[in-house]
Structure formats: C-alpha cells, structure tokens
Amino acid sequence: MNILDLSHIKKSFGQNDVLKDISFKVDEGEVVSIIGPSGSGKSTLLRIATFLETMDDGSLSYLGHPYVTSQNGQAVYADKKALHQAMSNFGLVFQNFNLFPHFNVLENITDAPIRIQKRNKEEVYAQARELLSKMGLSDKEKAYPSQLSGGQQQRVSIARALALKPKILFFDEPTSALDPELTLEILKVIKELAAEKMTMVIVTHEMTFARDVSTRIVFMDQGVIVEETSPEKMFSSTNERTKAFLGKYH
C-alpha cells in the first residue's frame, strides 16, 4: 500500500530553487533514509510532506487521498478540515526534540491524542505508559524536559510521535544534537521500530546506520534526487556526485 506520494514538487525561496521537480513515494513497511549535503533541500522536503511548509507546485497524497493537487502549474491545497485529517497520518521527530517545556513527559505524550484526536483519556494514558516503558523511561513520566538528557528527551519525542498512531514517521536528523553515546541510544530505538515494520523516512548523516536500517536510500543534492536505490547499491554507486558525498564519510 502506498502511504505517501509526493509528485513533481517545486519549491523556491525567492531566487533560490530549493526543490526542483522532486517526486518521492513511500510504501507501507519501507524505511527510507534521505542523505545529502547541507542545504540540499532535505528538511524542506520533510516540511512540505508534513504541511509545515507549502510547495509552489506539485501534488501530495496520503493513503491514496489527494490533499494537494497541481492545477495550472500551481499547488492547490485542500481545505483545513481535510488537511487536519491528512495530518493524522504522520508523526514527526525533529533534531531539537521540540517538547513542550511546561508539560511533563506524560503530558507531552498525551496532549495531542486527547485534545486533537479526541481519544479516550484512559486509553491514551495506558498507551503512553506502554510507550514510555518501551523507551525505558517509565520512571520519568512526571519529569519536565529540562530535567532529562538529550537522549531521553528525544526518546520522549519519539514516544509522543508514536502516541498518535501514525502510518508513517518522519525523522529530521534525530541524532545531530546528541553526543555519540546518546546517538547510539536513539539509533537503537529507530532500529527496533524498523524491526516492527514501522514505515519511516529518516533524514540522517549517520551513514552506517542508514545502510543498516534502510530498505531504500535517497541521495539529494541541490534540490534534486540524484539517486535512489538499495543500501548495497548506494554504497557501491558509480555516480560521481554520490561517490564524492559518501567519500566524505569514509
């Protein structure tokens, strides 16, 4: 089943053409890593997929439902109600955790499921505690983000994203604010989710991790997808740009 279908996406900031006709699809059960130099448009692509940024032209659908269509060379967005519905399909984990500082751990996780998804409180709390246990954070439910390490905060934000029961989870450089030890802790959590067949898109500079966890790797450079293929093929690519980029990590 197709989860996300982004087609012919164009995005400019002023004169800067950041995404140049990008098409990107994700099927159920895929783990797709997006790699590429800084400024190549990776975050913008994720932000467009999650409605944090608008595209200029292109189309977008989740689970076969169109939410953005291209009409006369322009992206036309569905109404607010439909976009709200679209947003229930995904979770998003950022580099800087983005937890609510004035909410404790449990409140951070349960707020959106209760307030936005309007789910039963008991059920949401039970699920939140289960997720915290899975993340090894059962003793932290009353803690505030400032009382947690970066790795713990990131595990809370993963739990928060999972609490929404998303069909797909997006990560934008989830470990780049963490030291190496805490990075491993987060990569392990993502690997466990992959083993459970969670559909994920991960922007990362962790190349060994990307090779291990991904079903497909997408290499972006200067607003285009240069190459997308299996980890094995990506790491033995003969494409000059790919080789030059990956060479920096050896």
What mask of x and - would describe binding to ligand ADP in positions 19 to 58, judged by CB under 6 A?
-----------------x-xxxxxxx--------------
Q: Which of 172, 225, 163 is nearest to 20 (CA)?
A: 225
Contact status: 10 vs ligand ADP (CB under 6 A): no
Quick check: 206 and 218 in contact, CB under 8 A? no
Cα(220)–Cα(212) distance, rounded to whole angstroms?
Answer: 19
Please state the closest distance from residue 42 (CB atom) to ligand ADP, in A.
3
- The dihedral over CA atoms of 122, 196, 23, 208, expressed in degrees to the nearest 10, equals 120
Q: Based on CB atoms, which residue is closest to ligand ADP, 42 or 167?
A: 42
φ/ψ of 91, rounded to 5, equals -120, 155
Please state the closest distance from residue 14 (CB atom) to ligand ADP, in A.
7
Please state the closest distance from residue 43 (CB atom) to Mg ion, in A.
3
Quick check: 186 and 174 in contact, CB under 8 A? yes
Please state the closest distance from residue 210 (CB atom) to ligand ADP, in A.
15
Please state the closest distance from residue 50 (CB atom) to ligand ADP, in A.
13
Q: Three-state SS for 48?
A: helix
Q: Which residue shows structure tokens 């009382």?
A: 147
Q: Which of 9, 4, 5 is nearest to 220 (CA)?
A: 9
Contact status: 18 vs ligand ADP (CB under 6 A): yes
Q: Based on CB atoms, which residue is closest to Mg ion, 43 or 199?
A: 43
Please state the closest distance from residue 53 (CB atom) to ligand ADP, in A.
7
Q: Based on CB atoms, which residue is closest to Mg ion, 33 or 43?
A: 43
> Encoding tokens for residue 155?
């595990």
Q: Based on CB atoms, which residue is closest to ligand ADP, 41 or 231?
A: 41
Contact status: 16 vs ligand ADP (CB under 6 A): yes
Q: Based on CB atoms, which residue is closest to ligand ADP, 36 or 174?
A: 36
Q: Which of 186, 167, 105 is nearest to 141 (CA)?
A: 105
145 binds, among Mg ion, ligand ADP, none (CB under 5 to 8 A by kind): none
Q: How far is CA 125 from CA 50, 61, 105, 113, 206, in A?
A: 26, 31, 11, 10, 33
DSSP-H helix ranges across 25-149: 42-49, 80-87, 105-115, 121-134
From 13-21, 74-82, 114-122, 185-193, span contacting ligand ADP (CB under 6 A): 13-21
Residues that bind ligand ADP (CB under 6 A): 13, 16, 18, 36, 38-44
